[in-house]
Amino acid sequence: MTVSVFIGASLDGFIARPNGELDWLPEGGGEPHGYNEFIASVDAIVIGRKTFETVLTLGPWPYGDKRVVVLSSRPIDLSVASGGAVEQMAGTPAEIVSQLAATGAHHVYVDGGITIQGFLRAGLIQRLIITRVPVLIGAGIPLFGTLPRDIRLRHVSTRHYPSGLVSSEYHIAA
C-alpha cells in the first residue's frame, strides 16, 4: 500500500493559522495544480478530528463518495458529512494502515497536521506532495513537528504555476 500526503503550506511552513483558519490559501477554483488527478488515484482518505471539523466549515462535502476515515478516540457525529462515505477509526497509524489494507485500500491519502506527523514518525508515508503558497503568515500549525530521527527524501519533481504556487513531490528514501 502507498500512503501519500498532498498538502499546501505557507512559505514559512504552516498549514493553518494558530486558530485553524485557512484564509491565506488561494481561492478555490483557480488554476489546476494536480489535486484532481491525485485524489482520483486515492482509495481512502485519513484525517484527524480537527481536520474533519475544518472541512465541514468549507462548504459542501469535498470528497464525494470517496472513503474517508476520521481518526478519533471520542465519538463523532459523522452524519454531518452528508453524502460522504465517512467512518471513524482509532488506533496507532500502523493499526489504521493495516485495517485499510485488509479492506482492499491500495493508495491512502493522509491529511491534517497531527495525523501527517504521526504517520511520518511511524515510517508509514512513502510520498509527499507539498505545494508552497507564496505567503508568510508568521505563526500557525506547522506541517512538520519533531522527529525521532532524520527522514531522508528523494526529490521526484517540482512544478511552478503562474499564481506563484510551487509544488514539489518527494519520496521517502529507503
Reported as a single tens digit per residue, the pLDDT across 4-25 is 999 999 999 999 999 989 999 8
Q: How far apart are CA 130 and CA 93, in angstroms?
A: 21
The Cβ of residue 6 has, within 10 Å, a number of other Cβ atoms equal to 21
The Cβ of residue 128 has, within 10 Å, a number of other Cβ atoms equal to 22
Candidates 15, 28, 38, 7; CA nearest to 130 is 7
pLDDT at 144 over 60: yes
What was the pLDDT predicted at 9?
Answer: 97
- Report yes or no: 168 and 161 within 8 Å, Cβ to Cβ: no
Q: How far apart are CA 153 and CA 80, in angstroms?
A: 38
What was the pLDDT predicted at 29?
Answer: 55
* Lowest-pLDDT choice from 21-35, 55-69, 99-113, 143-157: 21-35
Higher pLDDT, 98 or 56: 98
**CATH assignment, 2-24+31-167:** 3.40.430.10
Question: How far, rounded to the nearest angstrom, does the alpha carbon of residue 33 sit from its chain's CA centroid?
Answer: 15
Q: How far apart are CA 167 and CA 135, in angstroms?
A: 14
Output the pTM of the full model.
0.93
Helix segments in the chain, DSSP class H: 35-40, 49-56, 93-102, 113-121
Of the chain, the end-to-end C-alpha distance in Å amounts to 15
pLDDT digits (tens, 9 = 90+) for 68-102: 999 999 999 888 887 779 999 999 999 999 999 99
Domain ranges of the chain: 2-24+31-167
